[in-house]
Amino acid sequence: MAAPPLLSLQNIQLTFGGTQLLEAAELIVSPGQRIALVGRNGSGKSTLLKIAAGLIQHDAGVRFAEPSATIRYLPQEPDLTGHATTLAYVEAGLAPGDDPYRAQYLLEALGLTGTEDPKTLSGGEGRRAALARVLAPQPDVLLLDEPTNHLDLPVIEWLQDELSQIRSALVLISHDRRFLADLTRSTVWLDRGVTRRIEKGFSAFEGWRDEVLEQEEKDRHKLDRQIVREEHWLRYGVTARRKRNVGRLERLAGLRQDRREQRRATGNVTMAVSEGRTSGALVAEAENVSKSFGGRAIVKEFSTRVLRGDRVGIVGPNGAGKTTLIKMLTGLLEPDSGSIKMGSALELAMLDQGRARLDPDTRLRDALTGGGSDTLKINGESKHVVGYMKDFLFTPEQANTPIGKLSGGERARVALARALALPSNFLVLDEPTNDLDLETLDLLEEMVSDYAGTVVVVSHDRDFLDRVATSVIMAEGDGRWTEYAGGYSDMVSQRGAGVSARVVDKAPKAEKPKADAPAPQASAKRKLSFKEKHALETLPKEIDKLDGEIRTINAALSDPNLYTKDPNGFAAKSKALEAAEARKAAAEEQWLELEMLREELEG
Does residue 17 sit within a domain? yes
With cut-offs at 50, 70 and 90, classify the pLDDT of residue 254. low
Across 396-402, average pLDDT: 86
Dist. CA 193–CA 190, nearest whole Å: 6
Distances (CA, A) of 578 to 10, 53, 222, 228: 42, 52, 12, 11
Burial of 161 (0-12, 13-18, 19+ CB in 10 A): middle
Q: Which residues of 573-599 are buried (b: 16+ CB within 10 A; e: fewer)?
A: bbebbeebbebbeebbebbeebeeeee
Dist. CA 376–CA 385, nearest whole Å: 7
Does residue 111 sit within a domain? yes
pLDDT tens digits for range 27-40: 999 999 999 999 88
Does residue 581 sit within a domain? yes
Share of the chain above pLDDT 70, in %: 82
At 544, the amino acid letter reads D
244 and 105 together in one domain: no
What are the residues whose beta carbons fall under 8 Å from the beta carbon of 2, sequence distance 6 or more?
30
Final residue of a structural domain among 266, 286, 302:
266
What are the residues whose beta carbons fall under 8 Å from the beta carbon of 597, sequence distance 6 or more?
528, 532
Does residue 378 sit within a domain? no
80 and 191 together in one domain: yes
With cut-offs at 50, 70 and 90, classify the pLDDT of residue 418. confident
- Of 184, 228, 169, nearest to 5 by C-alpha is 169
72 and 17 together in one domain: yes
Does residue 335 sit within a domain? no
130 and 259 together in one domain: no
The confidence score (pLDDT) of residue 238 equals 47
Residues of the domain holding 241: 215-266
Of 59-63, 226-230, 398-402, 593-597, where does the model show the most confidence?
A: 59-63
The confidence score (pLDDT) of residue 507 equals 38
197 and 148 together in one domain: yes
With cut-offs at 50, 70 and 90, classify the pLDDT of residue 512. very low
Instruction: Give the relative orientation of helices 438-450 and 408-421 as an angle to the nearest 10 degrees.
Output: 20
Task: Write the Ramachandran bin of 193: left for phi over 0, alpha for psi from -120 to 50, otherwise beta.
Answer: left
152 and 261 together in one domain: no
Q: What is the mean pLDDT of the chain?
A: 81
With cut-offs at 50, 70 and 90, classify the pLDDT of residue 499. confident
Distances (CA, A) of 101 to 349, 428, 447, 548: 48, 43, 48, 72
What are the residues whose beta carbons fall under 8 Å from the beta carbon of 197, sequence distance 6 or more?
26, 186, 187, 188, 189
pLDDT tens digits for range 379-395: 667 888 888 888 777 88
The confidence score (pLDDT) of residue 104 equals 93
Does residue 536 sit within a domain? yes
Burial of 140 (0-12, 13-18, 19+ CB in 10 A): buried
Q: Is 251 helix (H, G, I), strand (E, B) or coil?
A: helix
CA-atom Rg of the chain in angstroms? 28
Final residue of a structural domain among 231, 266, 301:
266
The confidence score (pLDDT) of residue 502 equals 37
Domain count, the chain: 3
pLDDT tens digits for range 426-483: 888 888 887 777 777 877 888 788 788 899 999 888 888 988 899 999 998 889 999 9
Dist. CA 128–CA 112, nearest whole Å: 8
At 120, the amino acid letter reads T
Residue with the larger pLDDT of the pair 23 and 371: 23
